[in-house]
Amino acid sequence: MAASEENSALFPIFVLTIMAIPIVPYTVTKLCRAASKKSKSIHCHCSECTRSGKYHKSIFKRISNVSTCSNVTLLLLWVVMIILVYYIRTMSSETQVFDPFSILELEPGALESEIKKKYRRLSIQYHPDKNPDPEAHKYFVEYIAKAYQALTDPIARENYEKYGHPDGRQGFQMGIALPQFLLNIDGASGGILLIWIVGVCILLPLVVAVVYLSRSSKYSGNYVMHQTLSTYYYLMKPSLAPSKVMDVFTKAAEYMEIPVRRTDDEPLQKLFMLVRSELNLDLKNIKQEQAKFWKQHPALVKTELLVQAQLTREFAALSPSLQSDFSRILETAPRLLEELMKMAVIPRNAQGHGWLRPAIGIVELSQSIIQAVPLSSRKSIGGSPDGIAPFLQLPHINETVIKKVVRKKVRTFQELLEMDSQERADLLIQTAGMSSAEVQDIEVVLDMMPSLTLDVTCETEGEEGMQEGDIVTLHAWVNVKRGNGLIGALPHAPYYPFHKEESFWFLLADSVSNNVWLFQKVSFMDEAAAVTAASKAIEESMEGSGANMKETSRAVAEAVEKVKGGSRLVLGKFQAPSEGSYNLTCYILCDSWLGCDRKTNLKLKILKRTRAGTRGASLTDEGPIVEDGIEEDEENVDEEYDEDYESEYSEDEEYDQNWKNKHQAANGTANKHGQAAENSNSDKE
């Protein structure tokens, strides 16, 4: 019975140990992450962003940020652990080891005369005849009398002094640290023990596994439904125009689950009239087009209208019930657009190439949603391929201000960026009639905008040139600079109600054939991860080339310095195509800002494979040519494509025809010795 009580007393210690094993390391990791976060503000401080309240940390918002589900659960577990520690400590103080010498207030090894003398003195103090207190009587019987008996009996005293127990050597005992009632197998307690074992050891893991498998079978790692990925893959087409990307984007399964209410009919009708010009309806048959639009699935109609409400900034037209649906759509939009981008650039043909045109359209749609800029504003005007859209992302800028600025021959957004700050301020104040505070807001936003540069090289391991079939390694350093000195930052997006980190897409593509050879997502937010990735890539590359340890260490150190200076390494491999010269383009596209995309021309010369392994130059003498940006006029082999690209939103059908004609011409002249047949096969695919 005593052993059973001792095991039951150890149960709190057992529970405390099991809880402490995962909780303590998790808490330390969480605190280290919180301490390592930079205190530097990385969001925009213009008046519009401040007014939006997105970054305002009130006392309630601070509490809500801290009181997340995981933090509250962790705090409650620590409270339980503290209670267990207090209980165990109290229980330990109540559970005293039987020590006859300490009970009789004697030193170990005391003589029998001293024991008897001390016993008589304590008897006068605690004996029932001398002290009527019940507690004194209990203490005398259970402690003093037993201690005296243990020390006056020669055998009991010898056992105690030798083995620490009056009964002599004690055998080794094992027990289970469970409560007393669970260890009683008789009667109902046996059933309780059985239920406890089945529940903890069988049912609990089974429930966790079922919940995990049911969720993982429905969602991908990016919390996007598998049904959405299948829909995006099926609807993605190589000639999908940017103005048609919206039709694919809104067919996500997440949006099909948005509730449809009868009370939303009237607000949606009003919203339709406000955004009708953005819906690509045929004005010649407007009645038939409107009827066709409303015959779609109600969830699709609601989703497209709410997305257009974001693009046109018609927030006042939304009813309270539509506001919740509106927030739900915008919150999931970045994840869905990222997966849609992957569906566009993943390998689609025999050569393992994706599609460029839909990829550019997806990035443009993402930019427009984050900055709340209409797609129609991206129509090419004059020398600006992106139209007035980049101007509209700046605070206090509207079409009236843009018209006044254009009159002063500032026709492109790039020209505005390249102006001196004082010259720009004079232009905006004197010509557009803006105040100094408004101009200061514009300067703050321009200082937040990333300025991107690309440094791209291609090589084959162990060889000087490239022959068809070789594995070509591409090294690209993407560098970002901002006027405020930041590397990673949150974009200026006062009309997007959620925190959104900048993301960039690197694409190596052939703009004539519409093929994406290589792609990679780039982020400037996590410097530690970028350092690790760059170090590992450089180390593997140097080891593959046969470099020694000293050269490898030097190359890794240089890469780490580049990363800390605002660069990110893009490393990829692709198989060299058949013999010929290829004019490729390296794009770096931002999903949040308009007007900061850049590209670099890369000219490759692939030689015919020979048995002797003779090599030739892989890059032309001109080498990679860095362009000023997508928004500037191009004077290269892609000039015809770029002119079509600038007018995509207004001339989609004309673009499709031009693209097909160019593709057919490319198939006939790009390569020799059977290349035309190979390209025509890829077109059929």
Which strands sit side by side in the sheet containing 625-626, from one edge to the other? Answer: 354-355, 515-522, 504-510, 580-590, 598-606, 625-626
Q: What is the chain's mean pLDDT, rounded?
A: 79
Which amino acid appears at position 14 of this protein? F
* SS3 category, 356: helix
Q: Quote the pLDDT of residue 587.
A: 96
Q: Report whether pLDDT(621) > 80.
A: no
Residues with Cβ within 8 Å of 338's Cβ and at least 6 positions away in sequence, in order, are 222, 503, 521, 591
Question: DSSP string of 158-179?
Answer: HHHHHHSSTT-PPPP-----S-
Range 198-206 average pLDDT: 81
What's the fold here for domain 452-606? Immunoglobulin-like (2.60.40)
Q: How confident is the model at residue 97 (pLDDT cuts 50, 70, 90)?
A: low
H/E stretch holding 44 reads none
The answer to whether 337 and 358 have CB atoms below 8 angstroms apart is no
Angle between helices 242-249 and 226-235 (to 10 degrees): 150
**Residue count of the chain:** 685
Largest CA distance in the chain: 122
| pTM of the predicted protein model | 0.71
Q: Report whether pLDDT(192) > 90.
A: no
Which amino acid appears at position 661 of this protein? N
Q: Quote the pLDDT of residue 176.
A: 56
DSSP 387: T
Q: Report whether pLDDT(390) > 50.
A: yes
* SS3 category, 497: coil
d(CA 183, CA 181): 5
Pair of tokens at residue 351: 């050569």
Q: Is 281 exposed, middle or buried (0-12, 13-18, 19+ CB in 10 A)?
A: middle
Pair of tokens at residue 22: 């995962």
Range 414-427 average pLDDT: 90
d(CA 375, CA 442): 22
Q: Report whether pLDDT(638) > 60.
A: no
Range 126-133 average pLDDT: 80
Q: How confident is the model at residue 73 (pLDDT cuts 50, 70, 90)?
A: confident
Q: Quote the pLDDT of residue 137.
A: 80
Q: Report whether pLDDT(546) > 90.
A: no
H/E stretch holding 374 reads none
Q: Is 113 exposed, middle or buried (0-12, 13-18, 19+ CB in 10 A)?
A: exposed
Q: Quote the pLDDT of residue 251.
A: 94
Q: Quote the pLDDT of residue 653.
A: 46
Of 306 and 670, which is predicted with more confidence? 306
Q: Quote the pLDDT of residue 564.
A: 92
Q: Among 198-212, 361-375, 546-560, 651-665, which is the least confidently predicted range? A: 651-665
Q: Is 492 exposed, middle or buried (0-12, 13-18, 19+ CB in 10 A)?
A: buried
Q: Among 140-144, 150-154, 525-529, 610-614, which is the least confidently predicted range? A: 610-614
The answer to whether 507 and 356 have CB atoms below 8 angstroms apart is yes
Residues 254-295: tens digit of each pLDDT: 999 999 889 999 999 999 999 988 888 877 888 888 889 999
Which amino acid appears at position 385 of this protein? P
Q: Which span out of 126-130, 175-179, 675-679 was modeled with the highest average pLDDT?
A: 126-130
For tokens 């990925």, name the residue.
229
Of 154 and 537, which is predicted with more confidence? 537
Residues 27-44: tens digit of each pLDDT: 888 887 776 554 456 888
User: Buried (b) or exposed (e) across 203-223, using 16+ Cβ within 10 A?
Assistant: eeeeeeeeeeeeeeeebeeee
% of residues, the chain, pLDDT over 70: 78
State whether CATH 1.10.3380.10 applies to domain 224-393: yes
Of 187 and 575, which is predicted with more confidence? 575
Q: Report whether pLDDT(618) > 60.
A: no
Q: Quote the pLDDT of residue 54.
A: 73
What's the fold here for domain 100-163? Helix Hairpins (1.10.287)
d(CA 421, CA 427): 10
Range 325-351 average pLDDT: 93
d(CA 581, CA 55): 51
Q: Quote the pLDDT of residue 216.
A: 72
Pair of tokens at residue 30: 């969480």
* SS3 category, 489: coil
Distances (CA, A) of 214 to 165, 208, 210, 218, 219: 59, 10, 6, 7, 9
> Half-sphere exposure of 201 toward its Cβ, with a 13 Å CA cutoff?
6
Count the Cβ atoms, other than its own, within 10 Å of residue 677: 10
Residues with Cβ within 8 Å of 523's Cβ and at least 6 positions away in sequence, in order, are 488, 501, 502, 503, 504, 530, 568
d(CA 523, CA 573): 20
Residues 487-509: tens digit of each pLDDT: 988 999 999 999 889 999 999 99
Q: Report whether pLDDT(180) > 70.
A: no
- CA 106 to chain CA centroid, nearest Å: 69
Q: Quote the pLDDT of residue 92.
A: 60
Distances (CA, A) of 25 to 19, 70, 528: 11, 15, 21
d(CA 560, CA 612): 40
The answer to whether 511 and 641 have CB atoms below 8 angstroms apart is yes
**Rounded-to-10 torsion of CA 464, 470, 471, 473:** 30
Pair of tokens at residue 385: 């391929």
% of residues, the chain, pLDDT over 90: 35
Range 203-213 average pLDDT: 82
Q: Quote the pLDDT of residue 107.
A: 78
Count the Cβ atoms, other than its own, within 10 Å of residue 613: 8
DSSP-H helix ranges across 95-141: 100-103, 112-126, 134-139
Residues 462-492: tens digit of each pLDDT: 677 788 888 899 999 999 999 888 998 899 9
Range 423-428 average pLDDT: 90
Angle between helices 154-163 and 145-152 (to 10 degrees): 90
Cross-strand partners of 521: 505
Q: Which span out of 32-36, 209-213, 409-413 was modeled with the highest average pLDDT?
A: 409-413
Q: Among 188-202, 474-488, 521-535, which is the least confidently predicted range? A: 188-202
Range 172-183 average pLDDT: 56
The answer to whether 482 and 628 have CB atoms below 8 angstroms apart is no
